[in-house]
Structure 1
Amino acid sequence: MLVPPIPANESTRLNTLRTLSILDTPAEERFDRLTRLARRIFGVPIALVSLVDENRQWFKSCVGLDASETSRDVSFCAHAILHDDILMVPDTLMDERFQDNPLVTGEPGIRFYAGCPLTVPNGSKLGTLCLIDVKPRGLDEEDRALLHDLGRMAGEELAAVQLATLDPLTQLSNRRGFEALSQHALNVCKRMSRPASLLFFDLNDFKAINDTYGHAEGDRALVGFAEVLRDALRESDVIGRLGGDEFVALLTDSNISETAAVTRRLHEQLAAHNSAAQRGYEIRFSVGQIEYDPQDHASIAELLAAADAAMYVNKRASKAQAGQRV
């Protein structure tokens, strides 16, 4: 048996999958309809919508099989997401990748597999719509085209879920997407006893930008700040726009001094952005910083509330200091 290799974009792929908050959710008719249709059209006993997680494949929809997930290392679908086209295995006993796979030698006794990768707009292949039979067989060109169509439909349903987790203006995670991804990151930090920090940003005098320059310019300022956040923070950090002029960033495996260095870099890059933009105003922010403590913060919601409160303390202090200077 050949254990499936890890895709080159695995970090992005897993982040995308987890942002959807779809793993371990109840069955949905929009996916079940596709697997029922696939089983009937192709005359196979098993059809699945399978999502490939870090260490498992989990079935969002499953007809003809009692299991809800399997280990990733025995997963056919983990091989299929490495390809753009359908992965077809006419006879598993004739394929060295699968001939001694426990899903072949034991239940459900897979002899035929065909999986169409499910791709979302950022290019990540999150899983497959797949067909399984207990006897060898193949697909002709018409069959393959039909499986492509059904796979495209399943991919579009996943894309619809993805759009519900993205802020359309900045393309950062929205509140739902940020909370889902950050909660997973906090769980990992807790399990591995790693530090994390949450930064809660509020843009200063943002209403004045809208009032003076118009909402289109306000949107441009929001997009500009989002770009600076992306550039200043690490790829492993989780960034989101909660709404309005509020942004957040969860820095994982980051101690106090490292978080301070990130904040300094953000100030420097934002100053450079303001200087280059020359739009008649400057983007400025107040920030609240909270160190993650598993004893005090049972969830990302509690950490967000604490960082929000810290941000407002910072904002009031800055305004008072500005008033004293005047």
Structure 2
Amino acid sequence: MQPAPIPFDDDYRLKVVKQLNILEKPEERFDRVTRLAKRMFDVDIALLSIVEQDKQWFKSNVGLNARETGRGESFCGHAILGDEPFIIPDASIDVRFSDNPLVIGEPNIRFYAGVPLKIDNGVKIGTLCIIDNKPRHLSDQQVQDLIDLAKLAESELVANLNSTIDELTQISNRRGYNALASKVIQKCRFAAEPCTIALFDLDSFKRINDTFGHSVGDDALRQFAKLLKSNFRDSDVIARVGGDEFVVVMSGTTGNDSKFPITRFKERVDTFNEKHSAVYSLGYCVGVVCCTPLDTVDHEELIELASKAMYLNKSTTY
């Protein structure tokens, strides 16, 4: 088996994937595309895959009894290396894939055709692909039809990228954070004021999803966002910047100033856990970083510093 090489710009590609803010759960707008692909090409499987650092997961999945596979054995990891459709007529005789676990075992892939999904100036975040357990060839018209379906999926992904509001929690998403936090930092520098950022990471969010289902996980995210909004000022930037990561940017606030709202937030979360009749409890870790008007860091660097502070807190807590 020949794992796909890692693109030189993979760090930036992964950052764009994160900015999409699409959870690992089905959405009808993407399922429509994969259902149509399966019917049009009469194949066993149609997928919309998102290639992450160590795995590919399926935003939409028709015909395959799996939610993800490792990136190393993925066909889509190869497909995102190019701009054209990546087509394997018979994987069992292709030296790159003949001993691949997905070929010699379930789902016994023989035919694969994947079109890279390109957004944000050509960044390839995954594929729309069709798979069959029999060798096949596509006509030129069929290849064009698959490209056209991929364009439909791309348009839905771009809509996610262009939005500044997180659909689930109704607070700013990563794109909204980028725009608002940049303005807040500029304003603080102009006014010679400090600025503090707090990055929150929900504890055991994957366990909540796996144990109780995505609808309960969604409720946990919404409740956490509500607690943030009720605790911090209207002038603070509050955003969901990852699957279970939230950020608050407090203008005109030093590190010491931020201790009061951070402590008050902990008390509100504790009260929620005591009084709320949910099957889960909210827990989190937080990293706090302050920048002065003389610091030259931008909003992206600030969130990286807060992330390091947060993981340092995790390592000392657990």
TM (norm. structure 2) is 0.60
Question: Using the alignment, how far apart are the partners of 1:247 and 1:76 within structure 2?
Answer: 43
SS of 1:117's equivalent in the other structure is: strand
Q: Which has the larger radius of gyration?
A: 1
Q: Which residue in 1 is equivalent to 2:282?
A: none
Q: Which runs of 4+ in 1 moved over 3 A?
A: 289-294, 298-301, 305-309, 311-314
- 1:44-98 Cα distance to aligned partner (Å, 9 max, x none): 0100000001110000000001100000000000100001000000000111110
| Cα distance in 2 between the residues matched to 1:41 and 1:285 | 61
Match of 2:254 among 304, 310, 313: 310
8 A Cα contact 1:111 1:135, kept in partner: yes
Q: How many residues align?
A: 214
> What secondary structure sits across from 2:35 in the alignment?
helix
Counterpart secondary structure, 1:49: strand
Q: Deviations along 1:4-23, whole A, 9 cap, x unmatched?
A: 11112111110000111114
Distance 1:152 1:308, change over 3 A: farther
Q: CA, structure 1 residues 135+308, in 2 after alignment: closer, same or farther (shift >3 Å)?
A: farther
Q: Which runs of 5+ in 1 are unaligned?
A: 167-173, 180-238, 249-262, 268-282, 319-326
Give the residue type in structure 1 aligned to 2:141: E
SS of corresponding position for 2:193? strand
What does residue 194 of structure 2 align with? 287
Q: Which runs of 5+ in 2 are unaligned?
A: 166-170, 202-227, 229-243, 259-292, 294-318
Query: 2:22 corresponds to which residue?
Result: 22
Contact 1:19-1:177 at 8 Å conserved across structures: yes
| Identity across the alignment (%) | 43
Q: Which amino acid aligns with 2:36?
A: L
Give the Cα separation in 2 of the matches to 1:243 and 1:67: 38
Shift of the 19–40 alpha-carbon distance from structure 1 to 2, 3 Å rule, reads same
After TM superposition, give the deviation of residue 291 of structure 1 in Å.
Answer: 8.2
Question: Deviation string for 1:244-297 (max 9, x for gaps)?
Answer: 94249xxxxxxxxxxxxxx9xxx7xxxxxxxxxxxxxxx555232468799xxx
Q: For 1:99-130, what per-residue CA distance to the aligned partner results, in whole angstroms no more than 9, with x for missing partners?
A: 00000000000000000000013321000000
Q: State the secondary structure of the residue aligned to 2:32.
A: helix
Q: Give matches, 1:167-246, under 5 Å.
A: 175-177=172-174, 240-242=178-180, 245-246=183-184
CA spacing shift, 1:32–1:293, aligned 2, 3 Å: closer
User: 2: CA distance between counterparts of 1:132 and 1:47?
Assistant: 6
Q: Which residue of 2 aligns with 1:148?
A: 147
1:11 partner amino acid: D
Distance 1:292 1:130 in 2: 36
Find the aligned partners of 1:73 and 1:293 in 2 and give their Cα distance.
31
Q: 1:85 to 1:246 in 2, by over 3 A?
A: same
Asked if the contact 2:196–2:249 (Cα under 8 Å) also holds between the matched residues in 1, the reply is no
Partner of 1:9: 9
One-letter identity of the residue aligned with 1:7: P
CA contact (8 A) 2:199 2:248 kept: no
Q: Letter of the aligned partner of 1:288 in structure 2?
A: C
Question: C-alpha root-mean-square deviation of aligned residues, in Å?
Answer: 3.4
Letter of the 2:100 partner, please give it. Answer: N
The answer on whether the counterparts of 1:57 and 1:75 sit within 8 Å (CA) in structure 2 is: yes
Show the counterpart of 2:311: none
1:56 equivalent in structure 2: 55
Cα pair distance change 1:118/1:312, threshold 3 Å: same
Instruction: Give the SS at the match of 1:242.
Output: helix
Distance 1:285 1:53 in 2: 40
Supply the distance in 2 between the matched residues of 1:38 and 1:3 (Cα, whole angstroms): 26
Within 2, Cα distance between the matches of 1:96 and 1:244?
Answer: 49
CA contact (8 A) 2:91 2:97 kept: yes
Q: Specify the code of the residue in structure 2 equivalent to 1:240.
A: N
Q: Is the 8 A contact 2:185 2:195 kept in 1?
A: no
Aligned to 2:297: none
Residues 141-162 of structure 1 show CA distances to partners (whole Å, capped at 9, x for unaligned) of: 0000000100111111111111
Deviation, structure 1 residue 311:
8.3
1:120 equivalent in structure 2: 119
Letter in 1 for 2:42: G
Check conservation: 2:197, 2:249, Cα contact below 8 A.
no
8 A contact 1:80–1:128 mirrored in 2: yes
Residue identity in the other structure for 2:179:
R
Distance in 1, Cα, partners of 2:198 & 2:249: 12
Residue in 2 that maps onto 1:271:
none
1:305 Cα offset (Å): 5.6
Contact 1:290 1:306 in 2 (8 A): yes
Residue 313 of structure 1: how far off its partner (Å):
6.3
Deviation track 1:218-269 (CA, whole Å, cap 9, x = no partner) reads xxxxxxxxxxxxxxxxxxxxx8232794249xxxxxxxxxxxxxx9xxx7xx
Task: Indicate conservation of the 8 Å contact 1:240/1:247, yes or no.
Answer: no
